[in-house]
Amino acid sequence: MENSKLEIKIRRYKRGEEKAIWQVYFRSTREVVSKEYTLDQVKRWAPDSNDLTEWIDRISQRNPFVAVVDNIIVGFAELETDGHIDMFYCLPEWIAKGVGTQLFECLEQEAIRTKMKRIFAESSTLAIRFFKSKGFQVIEERVNIVCNAPAKQYIIEKKLS
């Protein structure tokens, strides 16, 4: 495959890239996350709205890492100062091609560099294999009710010291 020859670069996002990051989030939620949840749930998390004002604010505050291939943002991940990994998404056509692994390595290095004691996240059932392969352990399983339907979530963590 040609894709395997393309270099994946990881860096902090730049102003003006918020819309491209929304596209990654929107498509990943609608096309990948949707395999595990109801349509109403997925639309709640990734609505059709064109108003990206709140999203742009969020991204500028979270300052995510982005994965870039051939000048296209194909994935992004957020690391908060307490070690919480909130959003972590790849474009559907880039799933299982190593983008998530490279983003994760960068997040983990940043967490170690800034002396975080642990990193943690809420994972779906689909993503749990990915996180377990990175050394995370499940500390709690939750079932939230979202749009009148259950939404399973695993609380996972990786200790760093």
Ligand X SMILES: CC(C)(COP(=O)(O)OP(=O)(O)OC[C@H]1O[C@@H](n2cnc3c(N)ncnc32)[C@H](O)[C@@H]1OP(=O)(O)O)[C@@H](O)C(=O)NCCC(=O)NCCS
Nearer to ligand X, 8 or 116 (CB): 8
Residue in 116, 123, 136, 157 binding ligand X, rule: CB under 6 A: 123
Residue in 45, 124, 146, 147 binding ligand X, rule: CB under 6 A: 124
Q: Does 97 help bind ligand X (rule: CB under 6 A)?
A: yes
Residue nearest to ligand X (CB): 100
Q: Does 154 help bind ligand X (rule: CB under 6 A)?
A: no
**Closest Cα partner for 9 from 81, 86, 98, 84?**
98
- Classify strands 118-123 and 84-90 as parallel, antiparallel or unpaired: parallel
Residue in 95, 146, 155, 160 binding ligand X, rule: CB under 6 A: 95
b/e code 110-137 from CB counts within 10 Å (16+ = b) = ebeeeebeebbbebbeebeebbeeeebe
